[in-house]
Structure 1
């Protein structure tokens, strides 16, 4: 039995999503998984004529019961279905690492799209989901495939841990178009911001520092806490992406933690339980509560928090969570087939 991991090229470039997929491929390569590269063409017409041929060629040497880790979504449902058809025909065992569920995000009000996504996920032998909240939602949707919880995304990061102090600015990194709450930032605590599509309406205590790639960003994150927040309200997470945090593991949590930075998360976010349980930061209902919450963190509590974050950073940099989740998934598939 051989182990493979799918690597898609010509998908997203230089984004957090691309970074997450590349990291998982690298982690599994170190565990002995062989990379299978499939290049998706941008032209729909070329894609239509070349995808089937390319997939057949790449999967030709696979044997029955080989393990194939596929990272989802692939940004081509057409290609995903062809791969699953080929795997089912050859008896290849498939593990789906979910990065995003569009049924919970962009397609949450489109019953046809939701049904199509559920049908695709139901064809895998095992799903690696973000957390228990995502697993529970999929079970409620009648997805009966065995599932393993990742808990948190790993983040390969070879930069020095950043300087952290409670008195320093907060840090926020991301797509600023989805973060209009920054325009209403009326807290005394300053926040340093990185990302594309900044607003011209930021108040004086929001300091914009430009755009950095996911690989170079970690060395610029010196601060007190990394903030994870979405939408246009300081009262709660709002909009499609704010609501999505009730189910997903934001990759920026892993960015902050792997850099040595404690985090601030919304209390209703799925990742909140992991953060609080491991004492890696604080959870709040509203940004209006933030200054009061920060005032209760004395020097000893902050030092202990930073120590916990540094231990977690070492795990994330080694690929601990990916390795364990894939190992569990393989064992689960084997146990079911006995």
Structure 2
């Protein structure tokens, strides 16, 4: 019996999903999994027979009883994920879907069946022997929409990084930093709070340069990992479209980045990652951005030192892949794989 993990080859221009995918594959390989490389392409208009032949070629080495962890979504189009899982099940493999994102929870419910993946994603998940999901909230959300298979909760994402790249600092100031997509964080446009905020991301939009508030220090994106302050709080606060609703179910990758570099975090109290942050003492949760100035002003210097010590200590586990390693080991125990 062999263990496999899908490995999407993203090519140039990929976003954060490339780092997530590569890290999970790397950690799985360290546990004896073999990669199933999948080239990223648009399969939405591919003839079914051609796709079937392509997928059979990809999985030719998979044997009955093998374990295959499919990293979802593969991003070749939903029909590719469906066809791959069906082909693996036909071969007699044990199929586990590791959910990075789920459109069933991401998009507003009033879209209904108009978006093909929303209407069918739960059926895909129910073909699996197990799902790996972010947290309790994602499990509960998927149960509500009809997913019935067993699920394991991974907790936060890992963010593989050597210590010299993490560049941990023992200092912590009453300031914020943000890394990510500006279009999901419109609060950046009007940030006029006393707390200074440095922002990393692309300002280019179809309408021109993304506007930023008067107390936002824009620092580009090209060298964000090198230039990120290590003495600030990381902020996660999605807004607009259905982004904040979706954040109720997720453990965001940007929070893993913050934790990997030793930054305590401030997140929305309703976010899926919030219970973990509270439980582990890795930052603060707020119901409104209006609370942040007062919150930071109320924290004593001794509390800052203790918080920074905890987050620096915890960063090792994120950088070392501890959470992916734990959930894969738990999965193998559940499936009695030796």
TM-score exceeds 0.5: yes
Displacement of 1:59 in angstroms is 1.4
1:239 aligns with one of 221, 241, 262: 241
Q: CA deviation at 1:25?
A: 0.6
Q: Which of 92, 113, 136 in structure 2 is aligned with 1:132?
A: 136
Residue pairs, 1:69-84, within 5 angstroms: 69-75=69-75, 76-84=77-85
2:271 and 2:176 map into 1 onto residues whose CA distance is: 19
Which consecutive segments of 4 or more residues in structure 1 shift more than 4 A?
43-50
User: What residue ranges of structure 1 are gaps of 5+ in the alignment?
Assistant: 232-237
Q: What SS does structure 1 have at the residue aligned with 2:331?
A: helix
**Does structure 1 conserve the Cα–Cα contact (< 8 Å) formed by 2:108 and 2:242?**
no
Matches within 5 A, 1:241-260: 241-260=243-262
**Aligned-partner Cα distance in 2 for 1:39–1:264:** 37
1:227 — aligned with what?
235
TM-score, structure 1 length as denominator?
0.90
User: What displacement does 1:164 show?
Assistant: 5.7
Q: TM-score, normalised by structure 2?
A: 0.90
2:327 aligns with 325
Q: Which residue of 1 aligns with 2:30?
A: 30
Question: C-alpha displacement at 1:173, in angstroms?
Answer: 0.7
Residue of structure 1 in register with 2:166 after alignment: 160
Cα 1:261–1:299 shift into 2, 3 Å: same
- Matches for 1:60-209 after TM superposition, within 5 Å: 60-75=60-75, 76-106=77-107, 108-112=109-113, 113=116, 114-158=118-162, 159-163=165-169, 165-167=171-173, 169-197=175-203, 199-209=209-219
Inter-CA distance 157–318: structure 2 relative to 1 (3 Å threshold): same
Distance 2:283 2:82 in 1: 41
Alignment partners' CA distance in 2, 1:38 and 1:131? 27
- Distance, in Å, in 2 between the alignment partners of 1:283 and 1:44 is 40
Q: State the aligned residue count.
A: 327
Instruction: Render the CA deviation track for 1:275-313: whole Å, top value 9, x for unaligned.
Output: 011010011111101111112211221112112112221
